[in-house]
């Protein structure tokens, strides 16, 4: 593929990634005022935002092996926008739970984290995603050097935390969270070379 064509394709993929992450949020502006989220709109909204964050996290993990399999290195540039959008969705998920479910009762947060382990797992994953988002800034990437790759391997435990958070949070039914966990484990196995680089193997 010619240089101009590759550049146009990469730009198109960037636009698609941003639109694909943003438009479902814009859709909420339409459906929420209409009361189209069912009988328990708060729970449905929290679930919707959490699932969006999980799907974007899995897509972020998919980029590297897909780029390697297709032999198309420029695809790697999608990791940053997808990862940042994942963090945005995760923040909205947490903020909706905090604002609409707890009604900003700050004193309840500690009790919820202790009593509901799945919330603690989700919050831990969000803290990891925050660290990855901040250190995705080009200036910090250069400053961290090789340490940047070591830090960003935290995405692997983060995806497992999110999947278990989802599984433990559902009140009934295990098939859907099991499917997402299976996809996450498959992606981790596919990326096992990055998960356990040569220097870390026994």
Q: Judge whether 180 and 165 are in contact, CB under 8 Å.
A: no
Match 């999608």 to its residue by tokens. 78
Q: In this model, does residue 201 exceed pLDDT 60?
A: no
Alpha-carbon distances of 57 from 4, 122, 200, rounded to whole Å:
30, 13, 24
pLDDT in tens, 68-79: 888 888 888 899
Per-residue pLDDT tens over the stretch 84-94: 999 999 999 99
Domain boundaries, the chain: 3-197
- CB within 8 Å of 195: residues ≥ 6 apart: 153, 156, 188
pTM over 0.85: yes
User: Which candidate, 63, 106, 67, places its Cα nearest to that of 86?
Assistant: 63
Among 20-24, 31-35, 41-45, 87-91, whose mean pLDDT is lowest? Answer: 31-35
For 145-151, what is the mean pLDDT?
Answer: 82
């Amino acid at each position: 593929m010619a240089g101009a064509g590759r550049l146009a394709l990469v730009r198109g993929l960037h636009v698609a990634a941003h639109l694909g992450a943003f438009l479902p949020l814009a859709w909420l502006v339409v459906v929420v005022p209409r009361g189209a989220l069912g009988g328990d709109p708060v729970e449905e909204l929290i679930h919707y935002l959490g699932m969006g964050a999980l799907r974007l996290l899995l897509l972020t993990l998919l980029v590297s092996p897909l780029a390697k399999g297709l032999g198309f290195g420029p695809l790697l540039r999608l990791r940053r926008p997808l990862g940042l959008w994942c963090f945005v969705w995760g923040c909205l998920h947490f903020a909706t739970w905090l604002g609409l479910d707890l009604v900003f009762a700050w004193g309840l947060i500690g009790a919820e984290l202790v009593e509901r382990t799945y919330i603690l797992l989700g919050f831990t994953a969000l803290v990891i995603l925050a660290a990855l988002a901040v250190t995705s800034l080009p200036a910090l990437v250069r400053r961290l050097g090789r340490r940047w790759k070591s830090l960003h391997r935290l995405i692997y435990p983060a995806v497992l935390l999110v999947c278990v958070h989802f599984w433990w949070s559902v009140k009934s039914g295990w098939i859907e969270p099991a499917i997402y966990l299976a996809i996450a484990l498959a992606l981790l196995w596919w990326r096992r070379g990055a998960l356990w680089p040569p220097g870390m193997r026994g």
